[in-house]
Amino acid sequence: MGSVNEIDFGTPPSTSENLVELVIDGQTVRVPWGSSILRAAQTIGASIPKLCATESLQAFGSCRLCLVEIEGRAGAPASCTTPVAQGMVVKTQTPQLAKLRRGVMELYISDHPLDCLTCAANGDCELQDMAGAVGLREVRYGHQGKNHLDLPCDESNPYFTFDPAKCIVCSRCVRACDEVQGTFALTVQGRGFPSQVAASQSESFLDSECVSCGACVQACPTAALTEKAVIEIGQPAHSVATTCAYCGVGCTFNAEMRGEELVRMVPRKDGKANRGHSCVKGRFAWGYATHRDRILNPMIRGSIQEPWREVSWAEAIAYAASEFKRIQANYGRGAVGGITSSRCTNEETYLVQKMVRTAFGNNNVDTCARVCHSPTGYGLKTTLGTSAGTQDFDSVAQCDVMVVIGANPTDGHPVFASRMKQRLRQGAKLIVIDPRRIDLVRTPHIEAAHHLPLRPGTNVAVLTAMAHVIVTEGLVDEMFVQTRCELDAFEFWAEFVSRPENSPEATQAYTGVDAGEVRAAARLYATGGAAAIYYGLGVTEHSQGSTAVMAIANLAMATGNLGKPGCGVNPLRGQNNVQGACDMGSFPHELTGYRHISDDATRAMFEDLWAVELDAEPGLRIPNMLDAAVEGSFKGLYVQGEDILQSDPNTRHVAAGLAAMECVVVHDLFLNETATYAHVFLPGSTFLEKDGTFTNAERRIQRVRKVMSPRNGYADWEITQLLSNALGSSMNYAHPSEIMQEIAMLTPTFAGVTYDRLDALGSVQWPCNAAAPEGTPVMHVDGFVRGKGKFIVTEYVPTDEKIGPRFPLLLTTGRILSQYNVGAQTRRTANVTWHQEDVLEIHPHDAEDRGIGDGDWVKLHSRAGATTLRTIVTDRVAPGVVYTTFHHPDTQANVVTTEHSDWATNCPEYKVTAVQVARSNGPSDWQSDYSSKVRRSRRVAPVEPAE
Ligand code: SF4
Ligand code: SF4
Ligand code: SF4
Ligand code: FES
């Protein structure tokens, strides 16, 4: 447990290796060249008053409070903007400086409300601290003159207020928005006395371009920008370090608490993934943890037509175990399976797959990564030897050329997007390959060098055309290829990509991308310096998802962009622990660390420790489980933290599979859509209520720490343990650290991971073992994990999902900043303020052809099904392409997605669906029925009064 206040050194650290020696207040100090005097003084505890300076922002020099005297120099320069110099002699405290500082403070206080005792920032206000620090005893100028005290508060943002009366116009908020977040939503309008902070064009925060990241609130030294939770609850008293449970960036936070009540989440400056920043979800959208919809008592029912009956934990666990045993006795050992969750911790995921393999006695375990990054696993393992991104996020600071393909970082991975934007503003070049004009293509002070708006489904053709240019124009890094890659495979591949049919000119007709642009982008990628590829589900969720991942790895190997800072192949993982869920053996064919279940030596290791015999045959994947259920051979499923009815493709088929099962156990926070077909509901715990670890997109293992007791009574790992024990497979872990101990014993890439090491280092990136005790920031440095890198021929095979007269448009899907996946959490927070429904983006030409206007209801229709939603007419999408999100169950975008999937991994082809769009009068019948059906499925039988 920590305190809530950290030292602020005033200005950013210098990275120079040259040291400068100077004397401050009689003490000799050595600091890196380029440090400010303010920072140098702070390092020896000589605290200089300051207001406009803070260490996360470049020095600005506006408040004139940090003045110092320097021997041999006239006047009193600001220490935040004055760099140290060899031999300098500085005084930070003199009568003259004290007088000047008091004068500055008097001016501030003369235009500031004197309501400290009732102010929300009381005790956490730098203005208050500075009044004390300078010894302010009187204010000679009263409030009678012109002042800002009556300016109205802006309460429009659901999470924070802006009270201009308390603003000292220090510009910290403006600079945080520019430098840290990169949104440039704030300005100081006017000059002199009337100057005032304004959002966009003097709009309210809500109506402005603000994306509610909270960086400005964190930077504000007064109560001008304050979290509403602090106003309502009061100042936090202690803090616990933990990790965000939303996306794969893995931001770390101090959960600041009063007792067991969470007051605010403050991003940790030493968080290696986020470096003190966060987005609206991690910082503010945690209210779902105490939402009234949360189910806190276990429930069972004999059939899905019956109302739920609340029961004790003992009864629910015993019932679920007896049902699974009954099903296995009647239908065979393989008739049941489990699904692990990328939302849960590594330890919880490990236990679910262990329970399936030991208690169920089969390998029917799969994970939600099946529907997102399973092609990453296949593609990177085949080419490079391991299923993970090659770099750390810090590496982006050394990148010269960024390729973003099939990802929308400003919405999906916002904190990393801010780091990308920082580097792009410094001059790195950007290539965006995406059917849609994502925000990064043009955003304040950033313009992509090339945007290749390809037709959905043609990634492989475009990536291969880029390879064609690199090979035929002699841009291959011969030395890298000669020393690091399999030469036969390279030559085979080089001959293939060089064929005329793979040229940008030949592929232009079906990719829709101008050949000249492809050539220019390929040249830039190959010759522009350190080049990194960042990709997302717009690459993997295709019938050729695995092929596209291999095409990306081919490009990186051909240009030598691997194994060093600033480059690499970087999958942007969607969920907080999707990397970890894959690492933990969640796939039916792999044990932890991606070792195949058929490998006798690996299996023997697990069999020895678990004292069971393991099946050497891979089990069923999620789609196979559902198919088998429809066919009648699969009857029981345990689903932890995953709403397959909403997140998996072809909703009707998923529903048919679930309906055909005799025992569906849903273990989750809320009665989700899948629970409509469940017989047992086990209430889950939130990330705030348990210990464990998550692994982010850069393979970084970070601690999740319990900040409050589980409201449902148990952490999720304890519930799986109870179920496993009831099934007859004994588990006796007292704490998740013991589970990690077992994972480390069984997994070479985790061999050095312990909670003690994580506590000491903050985090480690696997592999972490004897060879790399502090982890591995950059992989494949001296050689690939598989030895030599392997080029794979990536022949473009068009998807079977064809457009035609009935379905002439291509639908692609994505997500939006404020919402998260199926929205179970974010829809239960004030984030709905920004996104209340899924909408369909359609190009003006396509809209006009169909007589559709902005905001109209339209029916979106595919071969699989139809749904109804409103439109936005926009040229962000190319003609012939429509786009929507999938956050709301009453839209259920997956009603229209098809069963096409990646040839290697079965990852659904969410990103390409042939559709038609037509005007409609409003929601479809099933959508109107939806609410009442959901209400029925959520009925809970009244509890009989006790005798
Ligand atoms: S919340 Fe973030 S985006 Fe909004 S004004 Fe503040 S820093 Fe800018
Ligand atoms: S709102 Fe806060 S950070 Fe922004 S200028 Fe005013 S006092 Fe400074
Ligand atoms: S970027 Fe991702 S990990 Fe970071 S705060 Fe936002 S949702 Fe959480
Ligand atoms: S802190 Fe240096 S001028 Fe404000």
Helix (H, G, I), strand (E, B) or coil at 79: coil
Ligand 2: lining residues by beta carbon, under 6 Å:
167-173, 197, 219-222, 224-225
374-406 residues labelled b (16+ CB within 10 A) or e (exposed) = bbbbbbbbbbbbbbbbbbbbbbbebbbbbbbbb
Structure confidence by residue, pLDDT tens digits, 892-914 = 667 787 778 888 888 878 788 99
Helix (H, G, I), strand (E, B) or coil at 20: strand
Say yes or no to pLDDT of 144 above 80: no
Question: d(Cα 720, Cα 355) in Å, to the nearest integer?
Answer: 8
Q: Which of 867, 920, 872 is nearest to 894 (CA)?
A: 867
Q: Which structure tokens are listed for 767?
A: 């592999």
| Full 3-state SS string of 381-447 | HHHCCCCCCCCCHHHHHHCCEEEEECCCHHHHCHHHHHHHHHHHHCCCEEEEECCECCHHHEECCEE
| pLDDT for res 5 | 65
Going by pLDDT thresholds of 50, 70 and 90, the confidence category of residue 926 is low
| pLDDT for res 226 | 97
Question: d(Cα 822, Cα 646) in Å, to the nearest integer?
Answer: 7
Residue to mutate, 272, 343, 408, 415, ligand 3, most ligand atoms under 8 Å from C-beta: 415
Helix (H, G, I), strand (E, B) or coil at 305: coil
* CA 513 to each of CA 122, 305, 552, 800: distance values in angstroms, whole numbers, following the listed order: 58, 52, 18, 21
Residue to mutate, 51, 92, 97, 107, ligand 4, most ligand atoms under 8 Å from C-beta: 51
CA of 175 relative to ligand 3 center, distance in Å: 21
Q: In this structure, which ligand is nearest to the CA of 419? A: 3
Nearest CA to ligand 2 atom 8: 170
Ligand 1: lining residues by beta carbon, under 6 Å:
176-177, 181, 183, 185-186, 210-216
Q: Which structure tokens are listed for 427?
A: 């001059």
| pLDDT for res 149 | 73
CB count within 10 Å of CB 7 equals: 11
Across 494-616, the runs of DSSP E, i.e. the strands, are 531-535, 568-571, 590-591, 595-596
Say yes or no to pLDDT of 936 above 60: no
Contacts of 201 (CB under 8 A, 6+ apart): 208
Question: d(Cα 106, Cα 608) in Å, to the nearest integer?
Answer: 74
Q: Which of 34, 590, 141, 520 is nearest to 357 (CA)?
A: 590
Q: What is the mean pLDDT of residues 612-632?
A: 95
Q: What are phi and psi of 263, to 5 degrees?
A: -100, -50
CB count within 10 Å of CB 103 equals: 13
Say yes or no to pLDDT of 947 above 50: no
Question: d(Cα 651, Cα 893) in Å, to the nearest integer?
Answer: 9
Say yes or no to pLDDT of 528 above 70: yes
Helix (H, G, I), strand (E, B) or coil at 309: strand
Q: What is the mean pLDDT of residues 209-229?
A: 96
Nearest CA to ligand 2 atom 7: 167
- In sequence order, the β-bridge partners of residue 186 are 199
Burial class (CB in 10 A: 0-12, 13-18, 19+), 861: buried
Least confident of 173-177, 370-374, 684-688, 795-799: 370-374
Do the beta carbons of residue 134 and residue 101 sit within 8 Å?
yes
Tokens 């448009």 — which residue? Answer: 809
Going by pLDDT thresholds of 50, 70 and 90, the confidence category of residue 935 is very low
Percent over 90 (pLDDT), the chain: 78
Going by pLDDT thresholds of 50, 70 and 90, the confidence category of residue 715 is very high
Going by pLDDT thresholds of 50, 70 and 90, the confidence category of residue 887 is confident
Going by pLDDT thresholds of 50, 70 and 90, the confidence category of residue 945 is very low
Question: d(Cα 270, Cα 56) in Å, to the nearest integer?
Answer: 11
Say yes or no to pLDDT of 412 above 60: yes
Do the beta carbons of residue 836 and residue 855 sit within 8 Å?
no
CA 11 centroid distance within chain: 28
* CA 314 to each of CA 58, 172, 311, 317, 682: distance values in angstroms, whole numbers, following the listed order: 58, 54, 8, 5, 11
Closest-lying ligand 3 atom to the alpha carbon of residue 253: 5
| pLDDT for res 943 | 44
Q: What is the mean pLDDT of residues 91-108?
A: 92
Helix (H) or strand (E) holding 868: strand 866-873
Structure confidence by residue, pLDDT tens digits, 20-32 = 999 999 999 999 9
Helix (H) or strand (E) holding 70: strand 69-70
Q: What is the mean pLDDT of residues 88-115?
A: 91
Q: What is the mean pLDDT of residues 32-46?
A: 95
| pLDDT for res 886 | 75
Q: What is the mean pLDDT of residues 701-705?
A: 98
Instruction: Report CA torsion sign: 711, 717, 720, 721.
Output: negative
Tokens 């939770």 — which residue? Answer: 229
Closest-lying ligand 3 atom to the alpha carbon of residue 282: 5
| pLDDT for res 192 | 75
Any idea what the Cα angle at residue 336 is, between residues 320 and 644, rounded to 5°?
A: 85
Say yes or no to pLDDT of 4 above 70: no
Q: For the chain, first and last CA: distance in Å?
A: 45
Question: d(Cα 763, Cα 767) in Å, to the nearest integer?
Answer: 12
CA of 250 relative to ligand 3 center, distance in Å: 6
Question: d(Cα 884, Cα 876) in Å, to the nearest integer?
Answer: 12
Q: Which structure tokens are listed for 749?
A: 């890439």
**For residues 706 and 573, which has the higher predicted lDDT (pLDDT)?**
706
| pLDDT for res 924 | 65
CA of 265 relative to ligand 1 center, distance in Å: 16
Q: Which of 212, 207, 249, 210 is nearest to 444 (CA)?
A: 210
Give DSSP secondary structure letters for 106-150: HHHHTTS---GGG-TTTTS-HHHHHHHHTT----SS-SSSS-STT
Structure confidence by residue, pLDDT tens digits, 444-461 = 999 999 999 999 999 999
Q: Is the bond preceding residue 444 a cis peptide, omega within 30 degrees? A: no
Ligand 4: lining residues by beta carbon, under 6 Å:
50-53, 61-66, 78, 80
Nearest CA to ligand 1 atom 4: 210
- In sequence order, the β-bridge partners of residue 892 are none
Do the beta carbons of residue 263 and residue 588 sit within 8 Å?
no
Structure confidence by residue, pLDDT tens digits, 507-527 = 999 999 999 999 999 999 999
Do the beta carbons of residue 346 and residue 584 sit within 8 Å?
yes
Do the beta carbons of residue 580 and residue 695 sit within 8 Å?
yes
Side chain identity, residue 920 = S
Q: Which structure tokens are listed for 212?
A: 């509610």
Least confident of 46-50, 144-148, 189-193, 853-857: 144-148
Q: Which structure tokens are listed for 526?
A: 């190959």
Say yes or no to pLDDT of 934 above 60: no
DSSP 923: S
Residue to mutate, 172, 216, 280, ligand 1, most ligand atoms under 8 Å from C-beta: 216
Q: Which structure tokens are listed for 206?
A: 């809500």
**For residues 655 and 888, which has the higher predicted lDDT (pLDDT)?**
655
**For residues 947 and 632, which has the higher predicted lDDT (pLDDT)?**
632
- In sequence order, the β-bridge partners of residue 765 are 700
Question: d(Cα 307, Cα 831) in Å, to the nearest integer?
Answer: 31
Tokens 């236990």 — which residue? Answer: 351
- In sequence order, the β-bridge partners of residue 252 are 243
- Is the CB–ligand 3 distance for residue 412 below 6 Å? no
- Average per-residue pLDDT in the chain? 92
Closest-lying ligand 2 atom to the alpha carbon of residue 166: 7
Nearest CA to ligand 3 atom 4: 251
Do the beta carbons of residue 169 and residue 195 sit within 8 Å?
yes
Residue to mutate, 161, 172, 186, 833, ligand 1, most ligand atoms under 8 Å from C-beta: 186
Q: Which structure tokens are listed for 67?
A: 């003045």
Percent over 70 (pLDDT), the chain: 96
Helix (H, G, I), strand (E, B) or coil at 829: coil
Do the beta carbons of residue 672 and residue 686 sit within 8 Å?
no
Q: What are phi and psi of 555, to 5 degrees?
A: -60, -45
Say yes or no to pLDDT of 923 above 90: no
Nearest CA to ligand 1 atom 5: 210
Helix (H, G, I), strand (E, B) or coil at 593: helix
Question: d(Cα 728, Cα 535) in Å, to the nearest integer?
Answer: 43
Global confidence as pTM: 0.93
Contacts of 849 (CB under 8 A, 6+ apart): none
| pLDDT for res 2 | 60
Helix (H, G, I), strand (E, B) or coil at 64: coil
- In sequence order, the β-bridge partners of residue 241 are 254
Closest-lying ligand 3 atom to the alpha carbon of residue 246: 7
Say yes or no to pLDDT of 110 above 90: no
Say yes or no to pLDDT of 849 above 70: yes
Nearest CA to ligand 2 atom 4: 173
CB count within 10 Å of CB 73 equals: 13
Question: d(Cα 353, Cα 348) in Å, to the nearest integer?
Answer: 9
| pLDDT for res 320 | 98
Say yes or no to pLDDT of 938 above 70: no
| pLDDT for res 131 | 87
CB count within 10 Å of CB 762 equals: 16
Q: What is the mean pLDDT of residues 112-125?
A: 88
Instruction: Report CA torsion sign: 465, 539, 892, 937.
Output: positive
